[in-house]
Amino acid sequence: MAIATTTTTPNAAQDTLALIGRVLLAVLFVPAGFGKLMGFAGTVGYISSVGAPLPQVAAVIAIVVELGLGLLLLVGFKTRLSAIVLAIFTVAAAVMFHNYWGMPAEKAFVNQLMFFKNIAIAGGLLAFAAFGAGRFSIDKK
């Protein structure tokens, strides 16, 4: 049994929704990256507290990814690559910082929610990797 597929050109509503989606995702990453930049010592301390290796390097990577690639996603420049890197980063952050399976019960519930929130965000990012930024982006100019 063959599945019929059709190819359609995105319309203005789809392009508008892609723009809104990029803005909403960027609202998560850009302020987080800026906060890590402004509170670098605290960021390094938090990363150290979970036992991550090279916490200063990890903090710099987090800032570059969240702030830098978050801004690229926002404006729709190199969107597919930015979205893939952000998705990988988000899944890695979920595993490293929200490992609910190894936490006491009083922390597990909230961290399980945060873990699956990160997984869902990665899914949205992968949709941008698959379909692009839409017409209202630098990529389409």
Please list, residue by residue across 39-62, b when 16 or more beta carbons sit within 10 angstroms of its beta carbon and e when fewer do: eeeebbeebeeeebeebeebbbeb
User: Each residue of 31-61: pLDDT tens digit?
Assistant: 999 999 999 999 999 999 999 999 999 999 9
Q: What stretches of 10-69 show up as alpha helix (H) in DSSP?
A: 12-38, 40-49, 55-63
Name the token pair of 66: 């969240």
Per this entry, what is the length of the chain? Answer: 141
User: Each residue of 53-72: pLDDT tens digit?
Assistant: 999 999 999 999 999 999 99
DSSP type of residue 8: -
Half-sphere exposure of 68 toward its Cβ, with a 13 Å CA cutoff? 11
Stretch 115-132: mean pLDDT, rounded?
Answer: 97
pTM of the model: 0.90
User: Each residue of 82-114: pLDDT tens digit?
Assistant: 999 999 999 999 999 999 999 999 999 999 999
Residue 82: what are its φ and ψ, rounded to 5°? -60, -45
Please say whether the beta carbons of 137 and 79 come within 8 A: yes
